[in-house]
Amino acid sequence: MSALALDIGTYTIKAISAKPGKKIEIERMVEIFNPLGVAIASDEALSQKLIDIIDPLITDNKLPRTDVRLSLPETVVSTKLIELPVLSDAELASAIGWQAEQHIPIPPDQLSLQYQVLYRPAKDKQNEEKMRVLLVGTHKDIVEKYTNVFLSLGIEPKLLETQMLSVLRALDMTAEEPPTLVVQMGASSTQMAMVYQGELRFITSQMTGGQSLTQVLEKQINLNKQQAEEYKRTYGLDPQQFQGKVRETLLPVISIFINEIKKAMTFFVNQNPGVSAQRILLSGGPTLLPGLVQHITQELGAEVLVAAPFSQALGAVPEGNHPTWTVCVGLLMREEV
């Protein structure tokens, strides 16, 4: 049966219809502009406007309505990776609420909590090592507002998952790969996750995304929003284009972004003495900024790769590399919902 993955961003809304599984079989892909500039509506008026956008998106493109999977923006989620003495699934289920109170800054009566065991030691190591669990908390009212948009269309979402967890599933990294900082760049925020020995080690988020680049071009080169977006996508960090003015304007914002990457990599090295972090994997729309990969490589001396989410996909696979679709692919690769 076909499933629908929806990635509602502040700039665009992306949808993929596909047969889900480890190797998804793509049937249809749709991307539209999000004129509201928000992913989650804050009031009923905005909710109705979002409904008026999503309804024709699904209906006109004949997208599935039964197995619908949604991404949750990292900006509305509180994520914490914790270590615990080894517990059984039943013991963990009874203890997880108390653990969430200690680590997730959301009152218990307002908390919608999900958790995932990332590592459980083998029996012969359970006295020496701890298990690692990822806690993901969201305000209940945010989840309700998000799902109510779809319930009003007669759709009950089967899955709500944070963007980074979907991205990591889509990348399908193995334990043999070197320590890798995965950077998911969105329009309004950027998330970073360190993966080591095939396991997530930490997630961090910052409120700098592709729109920050557009805004600085608007202000400093005196462009309207559409022009700024076109200049950003066309010229980027290329010193030969537009007399290098776009590059010069963007570099201060890019420098802030690179400093955050440095901090994340330094944190990992400090937590894992003797292990070096020299690989960065970029995902998301701003990744396509001309010259960005080369600039990060120069500044950090690291190997910089761009996500290729369709590398294992079947069906109507688009040509070329499309790192903007990583979240949708990851949602569809989840086999149990």
pLDDT of 315 higher than 90: yes
pLDDT of 333 higher than 90: yes
C-beta of residue 23 within 8 angstroms of C-beta of residue 313: yes
Query: What would the mean pLDDT of 13-37 be, rounded to a whole number?
Result: 96
Cβ partners under 8 Å of residue 156, min gap 6: 68, 147, 150
| CA–CA dist 74, 148 (Å, integer) | 19
Domains and CATH numbers, the chain: 78-139 (3.30.1490.300), 173-311 (3.30.420.40)
Query: What would the mean pLDDT of 135-147 be, rounded to a whole number?
Result: 94
pLDDT tens for residues 181-231? Answer: 999 999 889 999 999 999 999 999 888 899 999 999 999 999 999 999 999
What token pair was written down for 57? 């998106």
17: which strand partners?
Answer: 4, 28
Q: Of the candidates 70, 283, 252, which has an alpha carbon nearest to the alpha carbon of residue 190?
A: 283
| CA–CA dist 331, 167 (Å, integer) | 8
pLDDT of 1 higher than 80: yes
Give the pLDDT band of residue 128 (cuts 50, 70, 90).
confident
| CA–CA dist 264, 203 (Å, integer) | 9
- Write down the residue that tokens 């996500």 correspond to: 307
Query: What would the mean pLDDT of 312-335 be, rounded to a whole number?
Result: 93
Strand pairing category for 3-8 and 68-72: parallel
- % of residues, the chain, pLDDT over 70: 100
pLDDT of 126 higher than 90: no
What token pair was written down for 276? 């070096």
Query: What would the mean pLDDT of 148-163 be, rounded to a whole number?
Result: 96
